[in-house]
Structure formats: C-alpha cells, structure tokens
C-alpha cells in the first residue's frame, strides 16, 4: 500500500473513532468486555431495534447472568423471556450454544473468531463482534449498517447481498480496520450506519467521513447500496381454533421447520386463501379428525394481519365450545386450564389477540 493510501486510511479511522467517542449512544452492553454479555446483546440486536432490544437484554441477563445459568435453563423458559422478540431460532440457538460452551469449552466462550464460529447460531458477524470487542482480535464485524456505510464510502455499486458484494465489502473493511482497537472501530462503523448514514436521508453534512465519501461526491447516496430484488413477501392464511372445554383449552407446540418453531399456539389450520368458515371447519375435521359443528362456533374474528420480514400472516381466530364427551382429540394437542395460558410462550400475534379479547 502506498503512503497516501495508508495516510487516508489512518485519517478515516481516526475521524471515525473520534466521532464515535463523542456520539455513541449509552447502551447497557457498551459498559462491558464480558464476552457472554456481548454475545447476548449481539444476538438480541439482530433484527431488533436498539430501543426494544435494551429491555429484553436487561431481562435476559438478569435471569441468565452467565453461561452456566443459561445452559441449565429449559427451552420453554428461555422462549418465555424471548416472547415478542421474534426470530425464535435465535433463542433456541443461544441455549444450544450455551450447552456447547459448557461441554466443549469448559464453560467459557472461546476467544477467537474461528472457535466462536463453531457455536450454534454464531455466524461471521457475531463472531467478529465478540472477538473484536471482548478479545481485541483484529477481525471485522459486518452487519447491514456497516455494509451500507462501506458501499457508500467507496461507491460500490455491486449488490451488497450478492456473493461478490459481500466479499468486496469484507475485503475493504478489513483494509481500513484499526488493528490496534478493532472493537471500537467496528462499533463506530455500526453506530455511524445507525445514526448518520441511515438508509433514507443520511445526515451527510454531519458525517465525519463526508470528505472521503465517493457516493456523496458522485451524488449517488440515494442509489447506493444496491440490492438484488429477492425479497418477495409470501402471504399465508392462518386459522386458529380456540377450543374451550369446561374451562380448559387446547394448545399445541409448533414443531416444523417454519416460523415460530417451538412456540405454542392454538390448533391451527393453514389454508390457501380466505376460505368461508364452513370450509375452514371442514379442513379442521380433515386434518385432525375432530368434528366441531358450526353451531358450536361462538365467534370468528376479523382477519388480523401480522407482518414479518418475508411473510405476511393473515390470521382468524375461531372460538368454539366442545362438550366434554365430544372427542378423541389429536395427541399433539395439550389440554390446559384457560388461566394457565400465560405460562406458555406464544407468538406475539396470539398474545396480542388474547390480550385484546381477554377471553380467559
């Protein structure tokens, strides 16, 4: 690398870290070097806003203050703490990785990027964040914020979600990484993306790197980053059955590789569209061999839309009463007293419905 390139990199790094020291938000996980706490915060913050994540982080570490406490927890309890955050595979992976740390790493998080990647649910980004912040390993941590900053700063017009784009951004970030303080550097880049180099209307006038920014000088800030157009939203129709029976109600656990895996729900029939109630009841009979008469349905909710990143769920809730002697219910259904519903982790869609209707 020639002298002027090295000087420019040093200047970028210096401006960035100075800006970070003045502007960084005061967040609970920024007061620690403990790799366990950094790990938990990084996992919670994936796909979650900082404001919402902070409350979950505090509750999570209060309940599970170290690896051992987490490794000894039950999946149901961990999911209860996670309830409402979404992307529940993160919680299941945290638990699995905690057990791995106890069995394979003597209860301590491994201290290198390479070893961290062996843990369930830890990918390139999370390993980079933990290794650089807790262990000062000179590795990068590239999340969506960093990708946006780097692609604008260097004017990359290759899609950032393509293989080529991912490599380009990784290589470039590594070139400018402050090897003496990689943790601060990585956090500064993320924070710049979150506070200044936002997806829409970035605050370029206040950006410490504006003198070096290629997208700004070429007036391409709103065109970069480029993304491939792969994110099609899938619409799904969920019909939930709140089947009451003498103060009891039936629930089941989601077991398939699908959204909300391991969470609980009311018996569900998924249909191809918005079917009339008779056909939905018929589907219930076909799928689970339970024969509720239409006359026993006491209410059907309006369709409720629930948006996820890649899916739009349209749900209806059918409430019905069944006499004690009616069935023969499927063995995967669990019969519980209605007042115990709040002992089980449900998707937010169901939780909100219960909260709104106060049916138990």
Positions in the binding site for ligand SF4 (CB under 6 A): 149, 152-153, 196-197, 202, 204, 207, 209-210, 213, 215-216, 221
- Shortest gap between Cβ of 211 and ligand SF4 (angstroms)? 9
CA distance 302 to 315: 8
CB nearer to ligand SF4: pick between 220 and 351? 220
CA distance 270 to 315: 9
Q: How many CB atoms lie within 10 A of CB 273?
A: 7
CB nearer to ligand SF4: pick between 121 and 165? 165
CB nearer to ligand SF4: pick between 170 and 244? 170
- Shortest gap between Cβ of 307 and ligand SF4 (angstroms)? 28
- Shortest gap between Cβ of 218 and ligand SF4 (angstroms)? 11
Alpha-helical runs (H) found in the chain = 3-23, 35-45, 50-63, 67-71, 75-82, 89-104, 113-116, 124-135, 144-153, 163-176, 182-195, 214-217, 277-288, 348-357
Place of tokens 């619409």: 235
Tell me the C-alpha to C-alpha distance, in Å, between residue 135 and each of 36, 38, 41, 110, 180.
Answer: 12, 11, 16, 10, 12
Instruction: Return the SS3 of 23.
Output: helix
CA distance 16 to 185: 7
CB nearer to ligand SF4: pick between 110 and 202? 202
CB nearer to ligand SF4: pick between 177 and 341? 177
CA distance 141 to 130: 9
- Shortest gap between Cβ of 205 and ligand SF4 (angstroms)? 8
CA distance 228 to 258: 24
- Shortest gap between Cβ of 217 and ligand SF4 (angstroms)? 9
- Shortest gap between Cβ of 191 and ligand SF4 (angstroms)? 12
Q: Please, how many CA atoms are within 13 Å of residue 126, restricted to the half-sphere of its CB?
A: 28
Q: Contact at 8 Å (CB) between 240 and 268? A: yes
CB nearer to ligand SF4: pick between 149 and 315? 149
Active site residues per annotation = 42
Locate 334 and state its tokens. Answer: 């669990």
Return the ∠ at Cα 67 (arms to 64 and 73), rounded to 5°. 55
């Amino acid at each position: 690398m020639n002298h002027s390139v090295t000087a420019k990199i040093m200047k970028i790094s210096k401006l960035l870290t100075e800006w970070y020291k003045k502007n960084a938000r005061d967040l609970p996980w920024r007061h620690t070097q403990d790799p366990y706490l950094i790990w938990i915060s990084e996992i919670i913050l994936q796909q979650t806003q900082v404001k919402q994540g902070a409350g979950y982080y505090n509750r999570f570490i209060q309940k599970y203050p170290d690896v051992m406490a987490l490794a000894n927890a039950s999946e149901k309890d961990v999911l209860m703490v996670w309830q409402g955050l979404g992307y529940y595979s993160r919680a299941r992976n945290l638990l699995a990785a905690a057990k791995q740390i106890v069995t394979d790493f003597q209860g301590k998080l491994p201290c290198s990027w390479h070893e961290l990647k062996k843990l369930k649910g830890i990918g390139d980004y999370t390993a980079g964040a933990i290794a650089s912040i807790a262990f000062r390993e000179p590795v990068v941590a590239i999340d969506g914020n960093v990708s946006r900053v780097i692609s604008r700063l260097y004017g990359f017009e290759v899609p950032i979600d393509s293989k080529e784009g991912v490599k380009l951004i990784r290589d470039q970030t590594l070139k400018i990484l402050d090897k003496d303080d990689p943790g601060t550097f990585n956090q500064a880049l993320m924070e710049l993306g979150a506070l200044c180099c936002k997806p829409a209307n970035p605050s370029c006038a206040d950006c410490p790197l504006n003198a070096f920014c290629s997208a700004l000088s070429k007036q391409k800030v709103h065109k970069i980053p480029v993304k491939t157009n792969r994110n099609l939203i899938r619409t799904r129709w969920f019909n939930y059955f709140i089947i009451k029976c003498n103060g009891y109600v039936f629930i089941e656990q989601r077991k398939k590789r699908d959204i909300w895996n391991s969470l609980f729900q009311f018996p569900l029939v998924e249909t191809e569209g918005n079917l009339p109630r008779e056909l939905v009841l018929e589907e219930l009979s076909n799928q689970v061999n339970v024969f509720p008469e239409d006359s026993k349905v006491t209410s059907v909710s309006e369709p409720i839309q629930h948006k996820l990143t890649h899916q739009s769920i349209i749900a209806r809730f059918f409430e019905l009463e069944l006499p004690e002697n009616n069935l023969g219910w499927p063995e995967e259904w669990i019969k519980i007293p209605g007042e115990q519903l709040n002992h089980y982790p449900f998707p937010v869609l169901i939780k909100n419905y219960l909260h709104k209707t106060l049916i138990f």
